[in-house]
Each structure stands twice: as C-alpha cells, then as structure tokens.
C-alpha cells in the first residue's frame, strides 16, 4: 500500500472514531439537559395548576396537579440533580404551607400569590450544575 493511501486510511479511521465518540457524548449531554428542563417545566406547570379564590376571610383552593411536585423532586434526585431536587422540595413545602394557611384564613390571597411567584422565580433559576456533563452518570 502506498504511503498516501495509508495516510488517507488512518485519517478516515481517526475521524470516524473521534466523530463517533464526540457524537455519542453530545447526545448523552443533550438528553440529560432536555430531561432536566422538562422536569423543571413540569414543576412550573404543577405550580401554575393551583387555582384559588378569595371568599371573605378564607380562600378556596383547587390544587390541580400540585401533588405531582413531590414525584418531580424524586426524579430530580434519582437522576443526580440533588441540589435542584432539594430546592424544589423546599419550594413545595413553602407553597404547601401557604396554601394551608390560606385555606384556614391565616394569610390573604396577596400573600399566597407572592409565595407562588417566589417559588416560580426560584424554580426558573435552578440549574443542573456541571455534573450533567459527566457521561457516566444516570442517563
């Protein structure tokens, strides 16, 4: 085999191997980022499903899909996003506390809306951290 053909063959094999490795790695990272963002969007949807109406000193509340927030916390922690999962659990507890107080007339609708807005802002700001770049973590 001529040196030219040998160099072309080595170049093709090297390019193919590096392309496969980087393609596989970028697919893993992209799938992890998509999963994290979909869980975050689902958490926001769960919070947005809360309906409330003021009736004198009490507030009538329909919780919607809010109970799914704990399942989302579990999934985040299972997939290795512990910090984000614990932050979401904290927001879940704070909203649940505000909902309970509003139902029993211990806080008004403005305070409930403020608590929900703070939770939404906090959830929008959580990030997966740099561990999602590890290709050997959970997929």
Residue pLDDT, tens place only, 1-22: 788 888 888 999 999 999 999 9
DSSP letter for each residue of 30-45? HHHHHHHHHHHHHHHH
pTM of the model: 0.83
Reported as a single tens digit per residue, the pLDDT across 73-114 is 999 999 889 999 999 999 999 999 998 888 888 888 888 899
Rounded distance, CA 91 to CA 77, Å?
A: 15
Q: Give percent of the chain above pLDDT 90.
A: 47
What pLDDT shows up at residue 22? 92
What pLDDT shows up at residue 137? 65
Q: Which residues of 42-67 are buried (b: 16+ CB within 10 A; e: fewer)?
A: ebeebbeebebeeeeeebebeeeebe
Q: Give percent of the chain above pLDDT 70.
A: 97
Question: With 60 as the cut, is the pLDDT of residue 139 above it?
Answer: no
């Amino acid at each position: 085999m001529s040196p030219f053909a040998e160099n072309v063959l080595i170049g093709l094999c090297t390019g193919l191997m590096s392309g496969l490795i980087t393609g596989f790695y970028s697919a893993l990272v992209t799938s992890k980022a998509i999963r994290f963002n979909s869980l975050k969007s689902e958490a926001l949807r769960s919070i947005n499903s809360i309906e409330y109406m003021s009736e004198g000193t009490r507030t009538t509340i329909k919780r919607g899909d809010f109970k799914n927030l704990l399942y989302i916390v579990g999934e985040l922690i299972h997939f290795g996003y512990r910090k984000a999962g614990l932050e979401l659990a904290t927001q879940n507890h704070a909203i649940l506390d505000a909902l309970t107080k509003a139902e029993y007339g211990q806080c008004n609708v403005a305070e409930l809306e403020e608590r929900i807005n703070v939770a939404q802002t906090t959830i929008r700001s959580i990030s997966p951290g740099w561990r999602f770049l590890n290709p050997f973590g959970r997929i």
